Amino acid sequence: MKKTGLKKHKWNIGIIAAFLVAIILFNQVPADASVTDNIQNCVAAILGHVDDKLSGTFEKSSTNGKLNQMKTDVDAVNTSLNQLISPYMSSLTVWVNDSNTAYNGMQVSITDSKGKVKTAGYVARNGHYEADFSNILKGSYKITYPYIIAGNASSFSIPATIGAGNNRKQLLGNIFQMSMSDIQAMCKAGMISKMAHVGDTISDGTYTYTIIGINQDKPSDAEGNLLPESSYGDVLTVMPLGAPKGATNGQPVTMNAGATPFGVNYAPMNSNNSNSGSWASSQMRSTTMPQYLAKLPQATQNAIGYVQKVTGTYNNWFSGGSNYVTGDKCFLLSSKEVFGGSGASNGSYCTTNEANATFQYQYFSSIATTLESRNINSSANQWWWLRSPDFNYDHKFCIVDHGSSNTHLSDLDIGVFAAFCIY
């Protein structure tokens, strides 16, 4: 009798326990308005509302209140850190002005002064291909990148100084492998001084052109009126000297008159043996220069622009008369542009008015400073015309005579070696 009652009591306890477990695990106890769900109320009391804030002490606040306060504290720390490091942090976007899909995924790398390297791939964006580098320190970097020339990808490296904040940089190719249109694009982007050097010799596949000046000539219209500086980038002044393509390394190039557009052919400045009207009205400018320009490949002609040239006039005084201002696509150098000096026999035979208004090209001031380096070989008489009228005679123009400064009769046929500008 007692044993049977004990079994029945244990059975009732088991049923109640199972029922309570079911309530806890499945929360399936029906509740009406007269029943309070104590379990859910306990959980709510512990967690609190999602937007709770600290109430009293941290220990007595709800869990959500504590979490929300911790998030606020972390955000404040992040803001402080950002303010602390923002003057030193940068981002860099590099890009090639090309929509060639071959660039997609190609890798660009930047190397900092400590040798640490970061890489990024080109992606199509804004009509060309870009690669992004974020969270980098400002400072000096070497950018190594692929650049496609004539269908082949070559690797180039350039130095770059990255400032704080957002930076953008266009990437261009090696000047010795670039087309004339690419070189022009580099000029427009203001990159010429980073990729080329005075004395370097480039090629269009037909002729070679030695760089005699960077950012010395000023672009103009056909009348010689200067263009706004905002309308162009860098200006590259080149002269076909027949030299082999390549870097100069600060040495004079090996010239070859026979490999230039006009070759060893000769022409007069003026058939009437006069320097009246100066360079502006000369036969050389009106007839020979267009013939010279027409010998250049069309792609090279397309890259050439007008620049302002200043030339003196003869008036039987050292100072000379008023200067002429012209806009020229193809021109002879002046006496000052080759020899420097102040004119009137002081380094050249041009008028002092002309010398004071012009400059000496960088190639002739720092590289080609000897007679030999100014003497274009393969020219039978070793003379070549300059556009400056002689300050002392009304029928002579200045020349380069075996590398030195001299003058000659304007109706004499001698060498023609012109220059032009790319921008």
Q: Is 3 exposed, middle or buried (0-12, 13-18, 19+ CB in 10 A)?
A: exposed
pLDDT the model gives residue 37? 52
pLDDT the model gives residue 156? 85
d(CA 214, CA 190): 11
Say whether 114 sits in a helix, a strand or coil: coil
Is 102's pLDDT higher than 80? yes
d(CA 10, CA 377): 122
Is 29's pLDDT higher than 50? no
The alpha-helical segments, DSSP class H, found in 216-288 are: 283
pLDDT the model gives residue 81? 58
d(CA 302, CA 379): 29
Range of weakest confidence among 40-44, 232-236, 369-373, 390-394: 40-44
Calculate what percentage of the chain has a pLDDT beyond 90: 67
pLDDT the model gives residue 65? 75
Strands 165-170 and 152-162 come out as unpaired
Is 80's pLDDT higher than 90? no
pLDDT the model gives residue 125? 97
Rounded to an integer, the average pLDDT of 255-259 is 94
| Non-local CB neighbours of 81 within 8 Å, separated by 6+ positions | none
pLDDT the model gives residue 293? 98
Is 54's pLDDT higher than 60? yes
Rounded to an integer, the average pLDDT of 102-127 is 97
pLDDT the model gives residue 31? 44
pLDDT the model gives residue 15? 52
Question: What b/e sequence results for 25-54 when a residue is b if at least 16 CB atoms lie within 10 Å of its CB, and e otherwise?
Answer: eeeeeeeeeeeeeeeeeeeeeeebeeebee
pLDDT the model gives residue 83? 61
Mean pLDDT of the chain: 88
Residue 1 binned pLDDT confidence (cut-offs 50, 70, 90) = very low
Rounded to an integer, the average pLDDT of 270-284 is 98
pLDDT the model gives residue 21? 45
| 277 token code pair | 């009207």
Report the Cα 143 to chain-centroid distance in Å.
13
Calculate what percentage of the chain has a pLDDT beyond 70: 86
Would you list the domain boundaries of the chain?
A: 87-170, 183-422
Q: Is 148 exposed, middle or buried (0-12, 13-18, 19+ CB in 10 A)?
A: middle
The DSSP H or E segment spanning 326 is strand 324-328
Rounded to an integer, the average pLDDT of 403-414 is 96
5: amino acid identity, one letter: G
| 65 token code pair | 């209140």
pLDDT the model gives residue 379? 65
The position carrying tokens 């190609």 is 106
Give the CATH number of domain 87-170: 2.60.40.10
The DSSP H or E segment spanning 9 is helix 2-26
d(CA 361, CA 340): 8
Range of weakest confidence among 75-79, 267-271, 318-322, 341-345: 75-79
Beta strand residue intervals within 68-220, DSSP E? 89-96, 107-112, 117-121, 123-125, 128-137, 139-149, 152-162, 165-170, 201-203, 208-214
- Taking only the tens place, the pLDDT of each residue in 352-380 is 999 999 999 999 999 999 999 999 976 66
Rounded to an integer, the average pLDDT of 311-321 is 96
pLDDT the model gives residue 55? 73
- Taking only the tens place, the pLDDT of each residue in 181-211 is 989 988 998 888 878 999 999 999 999 999 9
Q: Is 58 exposed, middle or buried (0-12, 13-18, 19+ CB in 10 A)?
A: exposed
